[in-house]
Amino acid sequence: MDTILSINHISHSYHTLKGETPALRDLSFTVHTGEFLAVVGPSGCGKSTLLSLIAGLLTPEEGEILLHGKPVNDQKEKIGYMLQRDELLEWRSIYRNVLLGPEIQKSLTPEIKQRARDLLEAYGLGQFQSSRPSELSGGMRQRAALVRTLILNPELLLLDEPFSALDYQTRLNVSDDIGQIIRREGKTALLVTHDLSEAISLADRILVLSIRPASLKTTVSLHFDFPGQTEDTPLNRRNAPEFKTYFNLIWKELNQHENQPD
Ligand code: ADP
Ligand code: MG
Exposure string of 84-111, with b = 16+ CB inside 10 Å and e = fewer, is bebebeeeebbbebbbbbbeeeeeeeee
Backbone angles phi, psi at 81, to 5 degrees: -120, 120
Q: Are 184 and 123 in contact (CB under 8 A)?
A: no
Residue ranges with CB less than 5 Å from ion ligand 2: 47-48
34 lines ligand 1 (CB under 6 A): no
Residue nearest to atom 27 of ligand 1 (CA): 14
Residues 135-171: tens digit of each pLDDT: 999 889 989 999 999 998 899 999 999 888 788 888 8
Predicted confidence at residue 170, as pLDDT, reads 83
Predicted confidence at residue 163, as pLDDT, reads 84
Beta-strand (E) ranges in the chain? 3-16, 19-32, 36-40, 62-67, 70-71, 79-82, 156-160, 188-193, 205-209, 216-221
Predicted confidence at residue 6, as pLDDT, reads 97
Predicted confidence at residue 105, as pLDDT, reads 86
Residues 207-230: tens digit of each pLDDT: 999 999 999 999 999 999 999 999
Predicted confidence at residue 249, as pLDDT, reads 96
Predicted confidence at residue 107, as pLDDT, reads 87
What pTM, to 2 d.p., does this model score? 0.92
- What are the residue ranges in the chain where pLDDT is below 70? 258-262
Predicted confidence at residue 162, as pLDDT, reads 87
209 lines ligand 1 (CB under 6 A): no
Compute, in angstroms, the gap from residue 224 CA to the centroid of ligand 1. Answer: 34
